[in-house]
Amino acid sequence: MTQSARTRRLSSGKLNAEALYPPVGAGDAAIPAAGPLTCPGSGSRVHMVGVGGCGMRGAAAVLLRRGVRVSGSDLSDSAELGALRAAGGEIHIGQGAENVPADCDLVVCSAAVKDVNPEVVAARERGCAVVKYSQLLGLLMADRLGVGVAGTHGKSTTTAMTAFVLRQASMDPCFVIGAQVEQLGGGSGVGDGPHFVVEACEYDRSFLNLHPRYAAILNIEEDHLDYYKDLDEIIGAFQAFAGLVPESGVLVVNGEDGHALRAVRRAVARVETFGLSSDVNWRAELQGTVRGCWRFTVLRDGKPLTDVQLAIPGKHQVSNALAAMALCLHGGVEPETIAKALGDFKGAYRRLTWRGCVHGVNVVDDYAHHPTELQVTIRAAREYYRPRKMFVVFQPHQHSRTRFLLDDFAHSFQDADVVVVPDIYFVRDSQAERELVDAEDLVRRIGENGRDARYEGGFGQIVSQLCGEVEPGDLVVTMGAGDVWRVADGLLDCLTKRYGG
């Protein structure tokens, strides 16, 4: 479909799901919908399968605030699902055909939901339209000024930065982020302004369902190799994402990432690069740090634009801030307003989130689960807390990711003093994949790189071990996309019982 034809179809107010959302790639598990779809509006009824995920929860909250009647199901309950109930959502724990309302207009599935799910089967038998979460985001974004943030890592923080700046500038955006953001009141929001800001996820090629006018590609590395064949296929997916940005739009791309530059070679939109080198459009001239939080001057095409002092640590956050600044300036915000908002931004949940301090021991939790994320986050934590000794509890996420990136993971802990690894968080992989690698394999590799690495399968053992070992001035960082945050909470409870609050 040509860009002009696609634009005409979007502006018509009615979307043909099969035309807009064709299967993409041989491995794609797309759940096609039949017939024309309109963006769910007030009074319509939407059921969400797998509603407990960050993105799905965010989309559900957006729908509820639009006046949509929302129901949903997931396998386990959570405080976040409780918040959806309080907002008017009808949430079921456990999945079955009986959960799908008889008068349902649309069923939305998370990326992990398969065709054999009983609620998907029931919806199709009733002739109800079924779409994926990313397709719903496409419907929500289609009639707004779309802003998409893509990349292997840094998406949540940069999306949150962008939404926060727009809100501080009274632009009143809609947004859906794959993380909770306290300063934004959660991971999603509905505003009356023109912008719809979305974290654009590459897994399952989900981001190809979006309709961005402005987009950022932060970086491209090997990841999700349970879905993609290799790095070339990943770059190809990002190339397709870049192609979604129309000629009237702008692509903001990491000018120091060769894979990202390769992905935008054929883009029809204007491409603007960012980074620390002299040959980029958006350059940060570093001025120094305050406990690992960088101060820098922003130069646009070589000319000084404004100064920024970040409140979150890590050199990698400078790149994230540059991308957010470029997106927001194109979105209509003045440079000084952007700079002030970036300086006020405190970060997203589970991104070096301080959980507490007992007996002089700081406990921090982070979502990092890719080798590069681990490296930059551990370094940022050391710069910010300056600990006597740093303990990192890393829960690997997926056996396939651990196996494919084993050597990279093993080199990710050079700034940690002690690394504790529990069992791998088992999600999406087959049992056969599970048998190919385990946490002890990673521990051996980390040890071969000169680190003090230990395997402790269960969270209870880890808490007991650390509770008896840590001393005042130490830092414990729990890291991973699974439920390793339980170790952080458990350790604080244990230290409190031992030493008092």
227 has a pLDDT exceeding 90: no
- Span 11-61, pLDDT tens digits: 222 333 333 223 333 333 444 444 557 788 889 999 999 999 878 988 898
Q: DSSP labels for 458-471?
A: SHHHHHHHHHHH--
> Residue 373: which of 298, 320, 326, 444 has the closest Cα?
320
- Span 405-464, pLDDT tens digits: 999 999 999 999 999 999 999 887 788 888 899 999 999 999 999 999 999 989 999 999
Res 25: pLDDT: 35
Mean pLDDT to the nearest integer, 377-398: 96
**Least reliable range by pLDDT among 6-20, 94-108, 151-165, 239-253:** 6-20
Question: Percent of the chain at pLDDT above 70?
Answer: 93
8 has a pLDDT exceeding 90: no
Residues paired with residue 452 on neighbouring β-strands, in sequence order: 418
Are the CB atoms for 16 and 36 separated by under 8 Å?
Answer: yes
Options 3.90.226.10, 3.40.640.10, 2.40.50.140, 3.40.50.720; CATH for 30-133 is 3.40.50.720
pLDDT bucket at 88, cuts 50 / 70 / 90: very high
Are the CB atoms for 264 and 242 separated by under 8 Å?
Answer: yes
Q: Burial code of 452-488, b = ≥16 C-beta within 10 A, e = fewer?
A: ebbbbeebeebbeebbeebeeebbbbbbbbbebbbbb
5 has a pLDDT exceeding 50: no
Residue count (the chain): 501
Q: Give this prediction's pTM.
A: 0.85
- Span 185-197, pLDDT tens digits: 888 888 889 999 9
Res 432: pLDDT: 87
Give the DSSP H/E element, type plus range, for residue 148.
strand 145-150
pLDDT bucket at 87, cuts 50 / 70 / 90: very high
156 has a pLDDT exceeding 80: yes
Mean pLDDT to the nearest integer, 116-143: 92
Mean pLDDT to the nearest integer, 257-262: 97
Res 41: pLDDT: 86
Res 36: pLDDT: 59
Res 13: pLDDT: 29
Supply the CATH classification number for the domain 144-344.
Answer: 3.40.1190.10
- In sign, the C-alpha dihedral spanning 334, 339, 343, 348 is positive
219 has a pLDDT exceeding 70: yes
* CATH class name, domain 353-499: alpha beta
Mean pLDDT to the nearest integer, 229-258: 96
- Span 301-343, pLDDT tens digits: 999 999 999 999 999 999 999 999 999 999 999 999 999 999 9
Are the CB atoms for 37 and 131 separated by under 8 Å?
Answer: yes
501 has a pLDDT exceeding 70: no
Q: DSSP labels for 181-246?
A: -GGGTSSEE--SSSEEEEE---GGGGGGG---SEEEE----S--TTTSSSHHHHHHHHHHHHTTS-
Backbone dihedral angles phi then psi of residue 421, each to the nearest 5 degrees: -120, 115
Res 224: pLDDT: 87
**Least reliable range by pLDDT among 63-67, 317-321, 474-478:** 63-67
Res 320: pLDDT: 97
Every domain of the chain and the residues it spans:
30-133, 144-344, 353-499
Res 34: pLDDT: 42
**Least reliable range by pLDDT among 220-229, 296-305, 363-372, 453-462:** 220-229
